[in-house]
Chain A
């Protein structure tokens, strides 16, 4: 058989370059990152000298690191809980037909479409201590009596970060849930109506269970996007005030890139890995469940 008909060779040839690229530029650096975390490499020297667990013990004793670990968890969980609530509610609203739905959807998608850094700088302006339009609105409606130094106080700043993350991710989650809603077989929902289920029973006992794979995917992506995000925190607070709002990515950047201590930077970033593995495993389970088939009609 000629080469032009050899499906196996053709397949390999077409897949090869992408595979090679991914292995070389994702796989290798990934391994390199882990290796670096065990070395005392700096940006200046070119050698990888073995340093054992020194980087890890250093950061684990560092209160700033521990705080950044905690912050990453708080921001991720806090924002994603908000995202789930907002997205399921928004999906219920947007599944109905109403005038101007397309325009509404356009606006709804804006937070997700805009580059992270630009959204972050806009929110920095919105949270500005002197000119914050949120403060003005709260004050005018009588809800605020003092003043909110959004990005100047650690607790408030973390809250602001959570808001921004939820804001930029919930459109993505909403759209995914909406797509999931429209893929629920219509006759199953009608059967539940005939069987006597009211709105809430239908929602909790029929629609949400069938939506679970889709919601899971939205949540998992949202979690990854939030936990590994650098832009929002970097631009909003830079990790401050006084290193109180660092998350793992920003701290890794500060120590590893700005501070040129590659070993320590890598060690910090590596703490993201076990958690990413968990996410990947969960996604695999969802994908497998989806393949076996959530549809139960006669076939």
Chain B
């Protein structure tokens, strides 16, 4: 009996969490005449395909909108921001964990707390700074600013990760004759590779999800990222093409969801500040 209740509850939560995605899926592949039926018509069931599914929305999305261009823009920004984040956050995290002694913990916490300063506060001064730098309406503005979101958290992530890797292999290398720097450059990377990977994935997801700065800095449609373009610019003459819109949302969500599932434990360790040992 308890078992049944468990399954029912699990299904309930899954339904609550997942039905918008099912709805995205159905909308993306429904023919317009099956889709645009007023909800007051209780004879027509919107939850199922009443007419056979169609690819026309998908074709429209890929063929007649800037969606692919947005994907390209987003990927470009992602690659650049990942590089910047890894270059900044990984050494910083390692340094805080191994080299900073007593200061390390405090400084690490300090950096972590800058993560709490939201884009919806900083976007005001940024809109000015970006204009001053001549970066308005450019992907460069995003590349410059996104690391402010990724670096604090990733530094903390790496710091936590390095702390959890036992120190002996590096110590052994130093006894064997490597200098401290050589140990950092040659031994450490292999040891903290999973941490670096987590940083890459986390940055990827953060960039894909970011909306506020993109909205603030980018105005022309061909420069937009996916997160910005889909809700704002997939409009043709004041009409929302829900089919294509939902297709875009769906295609973007799935890879992100897969990545999240693979790396969820690492993220949680970062969030709970070590209160939970994964």
Contact = CB atoms under 8 A, between A and B. Distances in A.
Nearest to A27: B114
B246 A117 contact: no
Contacts of A283: 113, 273
Interface stretch (B52-60, B61-69, B75-83, B128-136): B128-136
Given A98-B7, A118-B252, A214 B275 contact: yes
A294 B264 CA distance: 23
Nearest to A2: B179
A130 B92 contact: no
Interface in B1-46: 3, 6-7, 9-10, 13-14, 16-18, 20-21, 23-24, 27, 35-40, 42, 46
A125 interface: yes
Contact of A110 (B35, B129, B210, B253): B253
Given A106-B261, A139-B42, A175-B268, A122 B18 contact: no
Interface stretch (A63-71, A200-208, A252-260): A252-260
A275 to B, nearest CB: 11
Given A10-B180, A108-B13, A214-B276, A131 B36 contact: yes
Contacts of B147: 21, 25
B256 interface: yes
B18 A252 contact: no
B125 interface: yes
Tier of interface size on chain B:
35 or more
A116 B211 contact: yes
Contact of B252 (A115, A126, A183, A272): A115
B126 A114 contact: no
In this complex, which of B109, B118, B278 has the most chain A Cβ atoms within 10 angstroms of its Cβ? Answer: B118
Contacts of B40: 135-136, 139, 147
Given A106-B261, A183-B276, A230 B124 contact: no
Nearest to A286: B275
B117 interface: yes
B245 to A, nearest CB: 6
Contact of A136 (B9, B13, B46, B182): B46
A233 to B, nearest CB: 11
A168 to B, nearest CB: 9
A113 B121 contact: no
Contacts of A51: none
Interface residues of A, number: 111
Contacts of B42: 136, 139-140
Given A10-B184, A33-B122, A262-B128, A136 B39 contact: yes
B272 interface: yes
A22 interface: yes
Interface stretch (A12-20, A73-81, A154-162): A12-20
Contacts of A187: none
Given A5-B180, A114-B252, A269 B121 contact: yes
A118 B227 contact: yes
B271 A17 contact: no
A241 interface: no
A132 interface: yes
Contact of A118 (B10, B113, B231, B272): B231
Nearest to A20: B88
A25 B127 CA distance: 13
Nearest to B7: A98
B277 interface: yes
Given A26-B152, A93-B6, A115 B121 contact: no
B147 to A, nearest CB: 7
A121 B230 contact: yes
B196 interface: no
Contact of B17 (A11, A110, A228): A110
Contact of B212 (A10, A29, A231): A231
Nearest to A182: B276
B181 A270 contact: no
B153 to A, nearest CB: 11
14 contacts: A18-B88, A26-B122, A29-B129, A33-B121, A89-B9, A115-B253, A136-B46, A175-B264, A249-B118, A252-B121, A252-B123, A257-B124, A262-B127, A284-B109
Interface of B: 3, 6-7, 9-10, 13-14, 16-18, 20-21, 23-24, 27, 35-40, 42, 46-47, 87-89, 91-92, 94-96, 98-100, 107, 109, 111, 113-114, 116-129, 131-132, 144-145, 147-148, 151-152, 155, 179-182, 184, 205, 208-212, 215-216, 226-228, 230-231, 240, 242, 245-246, 248-249, 252-253, 256-257, 259-261, 264-265, 268, 271-278
Interface of A: 2-8, 10-12, 14-15, 17-19, 21-22, 25-27, 29-30, 32-33, 36, 41, 43, 46, 86, 89-90, 93-94, 96, 98, 104-126, 130-133, 135-137, 139-140, 147, 167, 170-171, 175-176, 179-180, 183, 213-214, 217-218, 221, 224, 228-231, 234-235, 248-249, 252-253, 256-257, 262, 265-266, 269-270, 272-273, 276, 279-280, 283-284, 286-287, 290-291, 294
Given A115-B211, A272-B120, 7 more contacts: A27-B114, A98-B6, A115-B252, A131-B37, A179-B272, A183-B277, A228-B119
